[in-house]
Amino acid sequence: MLALLISIYNTVCVYSKVCVMANLIDFLQHQNLVWQGTENAPASRQVYETVSTGFGDLDKQLHGGLPKQGVVDIQSQVGIGELRLLLPYLRKQTRMCAVIHPPALLNAHALFHQGVDTGQFLVITPNSPQEALWAAEQCLKSGACGSVLLWHGDLEVHQVKRLQLAAQTGQGLICILRSGIKQSASLPVCLSLKLAPHELGLRVQVIKRQGGWAKPDFVLDMSTNWPELTAREKVPRSAQVVTIEQALQQVNR
Amino acid sequence: MALWLYLHFPQLQLDSLYHHDVEQQPTIIVTGRGHSVVQLNAEAHKAGIRAGMGLGAAAATCSSLCVHEYDEAQTKQRLVELAQWLYLNTAEIHLSGSCGLLLKVSGMLAMYRDVTEYWQTLQARLHAQNVHFHFSLGYSPLAAQLLAEAKLDIVCEDTKRLDYHLGRLPISALALPNKQLQGLMRVGVKSVRALFAIPMLELGKRFDTELVHYVGRLRGKLHHPVTFYQPPEVFERQLTLLYELENLDWLAKPLLKLLIQLEQFLKLRNKLTKSIKFTLLQRDCEALHLEIGSAEGEYRADKWQGLCLLVLERTQLAAPLQSIALSVTEFCEPDEISSDLFSERCGTMTAAGLLAVLQAKLGVQAVQGIEPRSDARPELATSLCAPLTSKTNSASQLKLEPMLRPNLLLPQILPLQQPVTLIQGPERICTGWWDGHEIERDYFIAQDESKRWLWVFRDRQQRWYLHGVFS
């Protein structure tokens, strides 16, 4: 009788240890601390489905383009062409596009002239970053929005995970446009790009791409789409530096 | 045979006009191209005005005349009000034309001792409304109507007496086309009695079927179509809280109780609603009214509760809460299911549902759509609109010359603060002289030191401003 009890006790002990081990691996994997060989799988085995960005070069560099659903992190300062990068993609969308907390008014007139259907745009101006994240999650989860553009500052890992889950539920894509960020920790996003200005368009650095190797920076040529907004070979025609002081002087004169 | 009561209101509009001070003034109501008098009060009658008189003649007869034009819609509205007023005492009311009510008496006699008591109750209610009316009973709706319009004004359910009174009516009282009336007169039929004396079969041979139908309905032999009045439905419930609530978070449970009642109410009637109204009654304070809307009709309590909680998050109480009330006045029919049965559904909400949630939490102003306008001034070329309403054709469909405009426009034009390099321009925009918002600007595309693409302009006084960002 006693022997039986002891044997049962032993089994339970071993079992609980195995459980702890499994939990530990789960825990470490969860924290992105375990390196697995499968992560460097060949490009043919994509982790996510892709949609074209509308730029041939970019599609090639990103092995197909933007993820069909998920979170894309774009680090860029405002006004160098970060929205133009997404416009060809937005033009093809059939579902609504939510624009949350834009740094300035979205110009319907400009979108109209670039062939984007403005009727699908939903401009949301929340009062706080928390509300912005809440709105983004709701839009993604609903399935009514195919794409969400969110201007945001620093993000926490758990916030990105929530957005990722919401994007999976609604099968949508969220692009988080961030500028002047301090944090450097890796976020659990599908794709992370860093944009810098360049004469021909944009210098793109792929910081992270799920299931992909690190790659050198490349230049995205936008001169065919927006010839006026690329500083090409020509010298600025009327190079003139005007400061507010000069302007005031002119007024006083 | 069913017994019917007909109430005829000859001067409904005049009755609803009256105030105390106007009582003395002769008043008439005119209609038609000739402005003939259709309704007139006792004062006007005393002054010598008669119904059917032209406006000119009436004005000549009496100098201090108050004239109103006949308003059909107003009269009908008043009739509906009367029907609603009488609905408390009698169930089956049919709105007949614009000045009559047809009441089915037979069904109601179980509630009253006899017709006399029934009529006394109705009469008391009608007197409270201060309207002139004529009435009559009848064994067919049409007979009751004819007798009431002939101002019979007696309550008797004796078939023979009713038939006698009906028979005495001249043929011209019948609502028949003139041609038919003349035809009847010509063969010597001058009263209803004479018309009834002709057997139906003979009538069918000599006249057309319309007359046969009419007589059949008058004698109660053929069916007379009636639709009974249904009072408008309103959902109103109040819930007194057992103890005062200071925290809005605790309101969820009592709220759900009201919303479940609403759900049952709507489900029974197969209706949806798009907006509900909450009233929070606070101690020694003004009641707080909250209106919660949903872009698509909804009846389910849990959906409404979700929206309510979002709105309550934004609400602040001034004093402890004593009771809550819920009222819904507008209902809508459920939509046809338009989505494809076999297409894959993703997500949890429709666009309208999402909109309702966002607006409940962030406020209506925080969620907007955008649409381009045809205006050359950049700040007016784009405007905010209600979401999901703007429909636009893209520029390529309209075959317009594409213009380069910045994707982001500053909400306010700012003086240019930083040194910039002008890349392209100028593009002169000089317009708007017609509405006081005149501009004369030379726009340039410029790049600042951190290589951002800016849209700057110089005004007539050579001052530089920043207007947009080519994002």
Q: pLDDT tens digits, residue range B420-465?
A: 888 887 889 888 888 888 888 999 999 888 888 899 999 889 999 9
CA distance B188 to B182: 10
Residues of B in contact with A244 (CB under 8 A): 415-417, 464
Residue recorded with tokens 């509205």: B77
User: Which chain B residue shows the shortest CA-CA distance from A144?
Assistant: B351
- The partner residues of A209 in beta bridges, in order of sequence, read A191
pLDDT, average across residues B208-225: 88
Question: Is A93 inside any structural domain?
Answer: yes
Is B412 touching A (CB cutoff 8 A)?
Answer: no
Written as one letter, the residue type at A121 is: F
Q: Which chain B residues touch A89 with a CB distance below 8 Å? A: none
Put simply, the answer to whether A106 touches B407 (Cβ < 8 Å) is yes
Fold held by B4-149:
MutS, DNA mismatch repair protein, domain I (3.40.1170)
Q: Dihedrals φ, ψ of A60, to 5°?
A: -65, -45
Residue A99 lies in a domain: yes
As a whole number, mean pLDDT of residues B298-311 equals 89
Instruction: For tokens 């309510």, name the residue.
Output: B308
User: What mean pLDDT value characterizes chain A?
Assistant: 81
The whole-angstrom distance between B421's CA and the closest CA on chain A is 6
d(CA A30, CA B43): 93
| CATH number assigned to the domain comprising residue A131 | 3.40.50.300
Smallest Cα–Cα separation from A121: which of B452, B454, B306, B394?
A: B394
- Residues of B in Cβ contact (< 8 Å) with A228: 404, 423-424, 445
CA distance B148 to B133: 9
| Nearest chain B alpha carbon to A141 | B347
Which residues of chain B are within 8 Å of residue A170 when distances are taken between CB atoms? 346-348
What pLDDT sits at residue B456? 92
Strand partners, A240: none
What are the φ and ψ backbone dihedral angles of B437, each rounded to 5 degrees?
A: -115, 70
Q: In what order do the strands lie in the sheet with B36-40?
A: B36-40, B27-31, B66-69
Say if A138 is an interface residue toward chain B (CB within 8 Å).
yes
pLDDT at A235: 45
Residues of A in contact with B453 (CB under 8 A): 79-81, 229
Judged by CB atoms closer than 8 Å, whether chains meet at B411 and A104 is answered as yes
Q: What's the whole-model pTM score?
A: 0.63
CATH superfamily for B235-328 is DNA polymerase, Y-family, little finger domain (3.30.1490.100)
> Which token pair is B268?
């029974």
Give me the domain span that covers residue A135.
69-226
The answer to whether B415 contacts chain A (CB < 8 Å) is yes
What is the arithmetic mean of pLDDT over B23-30? 81
Percent of chain B topping pLDDT 90 = 19
Burial classification of residue A88, based on how many CB atoms lie within 10 Å of its CB (0-12 exposed, 13-18 middle, 19 or more buried): middle
What is the token pair recorded at A188?
Answer: 């659990």
Number of other CB atoms surrounding residue B120 within 10 Å: 12
Q: How far is B277 from chain A (nearest CA, A)?
A: 24
Interface test with B, best of A89, A93, A107, A138 (most B CBs within 10 A): A107
Q: What is the dihedral of CA B146, B147, B149, B151, to 10 degrees?
A: 170
Q: What is the CA radius of gyration of chain A?
A: 24
Cα angle at A37 between A36 and A39, to 5 degrees? 75
Instruction: Give B-chain residues touching A102 at CB under 8 angstroms.
Output: 408
Residues of B in contact with A145 (CB under 8 A): 354
Q: Distance (Å, rounded) from C-alpha B471 to C-alpha A85?
A: 9
CA distance B350 to A143: 7
The answer to whether A103 faces chain B, any CB pair under 8 Å, is yes
Q: Does B411 contact A at CB distance below 8 Å?
A: yes
ipTM value > 0.90: no
How many domains is chain A built from?
1
Predicted pLDDT at A42: 47
> Which among B347, B402, B416 has CB closest to A113?
B402
Q: Do A110 and B349 touch (CB under 8 A)?
A: no
Residues of chain B contacting residue A105, judged by C-beta atoms under 8 Å apart? 382, 408-411
What residue in B sits closest to A168 (Cα-Cα)? B347
β-partners of residue B6 are B102, B136
Question: Would you write out chain A's pLDDT as a tens digit for each of its 253 residues?
Answer: 556 666 666 666 666 666 677 788 888 877 777 766 655 544 445 678 888 888 888 888 888 889 988 999 999 988 888 899 999 999 888 888 999 999 999 998 888 888 888 888 999 999 999 999 999 999 998 888 899 999 998 888 889 999 999 998 888 999 999 987 776 678 888 899 999 988 888 899 888 888 777 788 888 888 888 888 876 544 444 445 555 555 556 555 5
For chain B, say whether A107 makes contact (Cβ under 8 Å): yes
Collect all residues of chain B within an 8 Å Cβ-Cβ radius of residue A115: 394-396
| Alpha-carbon separation of residue B149 from B145, B175, B370 (angstroms) | 6, 11, 60
Q: Does the beta-carbon distance from A144 to B361 stay under 8 Å?
A: no
| Shortest Cα–Cα distance, B263 to chain A (Å) | 23
Between CA B381 and CA B388, with CA B386 as vertex, the angle to 5 degrees is 100
Structure-token pair, residue B378: 């950049």
Answer whether A142 sits within 8 Å of B351, measured CB to CB. Answer: yes
Q: Does A22 touch chain B (CB under 8 A)?
A: no
- pLDDT attached to residue B20: 57
Q: Which residue of A has its CA nearest to B463?
A: A247
Asked if residues A220 and A85 have their Cβ atoms less than 8 Å apart, the reply is yes
Dist CA A144 CA A97 (whole Å): 9
* A96 belongs to a structural domain: yes
**Sheet bearing B235-245, strands edge to edge:** B235-245, B321-328, B273-282, B288-298
Cβ neighbours of residue B34 closer than 8 Å, sequence gap 6 or more: B54, B55
B364 touches chain A (CB under 8 A): no
Average pLDDT value over all residues in chain B:
86
Chain A residues 37-56 with CB within 8 Å of chain B: none
B230, two tokens: 């249904």
Percent of chain B at pLDDT exceeding 70: 93
Let me know if residue A11 belongs to a domain: no
Distance from CA of A58 to the nearest CA of B (A): 18
Residue B14's pLDDT band, with cuts at 50, 70 and 90, is: confident
- Kindly identify which residue of chain A lies nearest to residue B410, measuring between CA atoms: A104
Closest by Cα among A149, A19, A10, A1 to A87: A149
Say whether A170 sits in a helix, a strand or coil: helix
- Which residue in B193, B190, B189, B134 sits closest to B160, CA to CA? B193
> A-chain residues within 8 Å CB-CB of B443?
none
Q: In this structure, is the dihedral angle defined by the CA atoms of residues A159, A161, A165 and A168, taken in order, positive or negative?
A: positive
Report the chain B residue with the minimal C-alpha distance to residue A247.
B463
Judge: B346–A143 Cβ closer than 8 Å, yes or no: yes
HEC profile of chain B: CCCEEEEECCCHHHHHHCCCHHHHCCEEEEECCCCEEEEECHHHHHCCCCCCCCHHHHHHHCCCCEEEECCHHHHHHHHHHHHHHHCCCCCCEEEECCCEEEEECHHHHHCCCCHHHHHHHHHHHHHHHCCCCEEEEECCHHHHHHHHHCCCCCCCCCHHHHHHHHHHCEHHHCCCCHHHHHHHHHCCCCEHHHHHHCCHHHHHHHCCHHHHHHHHHHCCCCCCCCCECCCCCCEEEEEEEEEEECCHHHHHHHHHHHHHHHHHHHHHHCCEEEEEEEEEEECCCCCEEEEEEEEEEECCHHHHHHHHHHHHHCCCCCCCEEEEEEEECCCECCCCCCCCCCCCCCCCCCHHHHHHHHHHHHCHHHEEEEEECCCCCHHHCEEEECCCCCCCCCHHHHCCCCCCCCCEEEEEEEECCCCEEEEEEEEEEEECCCCCCCEEEEEEEEEECCCCEEEEEEECCCCEEEEEECC
Report the alpha-carbon distance of residue B306 to residue B301 in Å, rounded.
9
Q: What is the pLDDT of residue B119?
A: 93
Q: Which of residues 154-193 of A touch B (CB under 8 A)?
A: 169-172
Helix (H/G/I), strand (E/B), else coil: A128: coil
Split at pLDDT 50, 70, 90, the class of B148 is very high
User: Residue B91 above 70 pLDDT?
Assistant: yes
What amino acid is encoded at B72 in this protein? E
Q: For residue B416, count CB atoms less than 10 angstroms from its CB and return exposed for 0-12, middle for 13-18, buried for 19 or more.
A: buried
Is the distance from CB of B392 to CB of B371 less than 8 angstroms?
yes
Q: Chain B: residue nearest A202 by CA?
A: B451
* Confidence at residue B345, expressed as pLDDT on a 0 to 100 scale: 59
Interface of A with B in 197-226 (CB under 8 A): 197, 226
